[in-house]
Amino acid sequence: MDFDHLRYFQTLAACGSYTAAAKQLFISQPALSYAISQLEARTEIKLFERTARGVRLTPAGEEYLKHVDRAIEELDIGKARARTIAGGASIVRISLMRVLGAIFLPNAITRFKQAFPDEECKFDLRLGIASEVAADIEEGRSGIGLCSRVGNEELKHIAVAKQKLVVIAPRDHELARKDSVNLIEAARYPQVGFAPGTGLRQTVDKMYSDAGVSVRYLSEEREDYTVTGMVAAGFGIAVVPRLAIFDQLDVRCLEIENENNYRTFYMVYSENATLTSAEKRFIEFAQMEVAERGLSNAEMS
Question: pLDDT per residue over 228-240, tens digit each?
Answer: 999 999 999 999 9
Cα atoms found within 13 Å of the Cα of residue 43, Cβ hemisphere only: 22
Q: What is the pTM of this model?
A: 0.64
Query: Is the CB of residue 84 less than 8 Å from the CB of residue 122?
Result: yes
Q: What is the average per-residue pLDDT within 121-148?
A: 91
In which band, very low, low, confident or very high, does the pLDDT at 84 lie, cut at 50, 70 and 90? low
Name the average pLDDT for the chain.
89
Q: For 295, which DSSP code? A: P
Q: What is the pLDDT of residues 34-79, one digit of tens each?
A: 999 999 999 999 999 999 889 999 999 999 999 999 998 888 877 7
Q: What angle do CA 219, 220, 223 make, to 5 degrees?
A: 125
Q: Is the pLDDT of residue 301 over 50?
A: no
Q: For 106, which DSSP code? A: H
Q: Is the pLDDT of residue 88 over 60?
A: no
Q: What is the pLDDT of residue 292?
A: 84
Q: What is the pLDDT of residues 99-110, one digit of tens each?
A: 898 888 999 999
Q: What is the pLDDT of residue 86?
A: 63
What's the distance, CA 248 to chain centroid?
27
Q: Is the pLDDT of residue 85 over 80?
A: no
Q: What is the average per-residue pLDDT within 82-111?
A: 82
What's the distance, CA 158 to chain centroid?
19
In which band, very low, low, confident or very high, does the pLDDT at 111 lie, cut at 50, 70 and 90? very high
Q: Is the pLDDT of residue 202 over 90?
A: no
Query: Is the CB of residue 289 less than 8 Å from the CB of residue 108?
Result: yes
Q: What is the pLDDT of residues 204-226, one digit of tens each?
A: 999 999 999 999 999 999 888 89
Share of the chain above pLDDT 70, in %: 95
Per-residue DSSP letters for 223-272? SHHHHHHHHHTTS-BEEEE--GGGGGTTEEEEEE-SS--EEEEEEEE-TT
Q: What is the pLDDT of residues 243-293, one digit of tens each?
A: 877 888 889 999 999 988 988 999 999 988 888 888 999 999 999 988 888
- In sequence order, the β-bridge partners of residue 25 are none
Q: How far is CA 108 from CA 114, 132, 189, 298, in A?
A: 10, 22, 39, 11
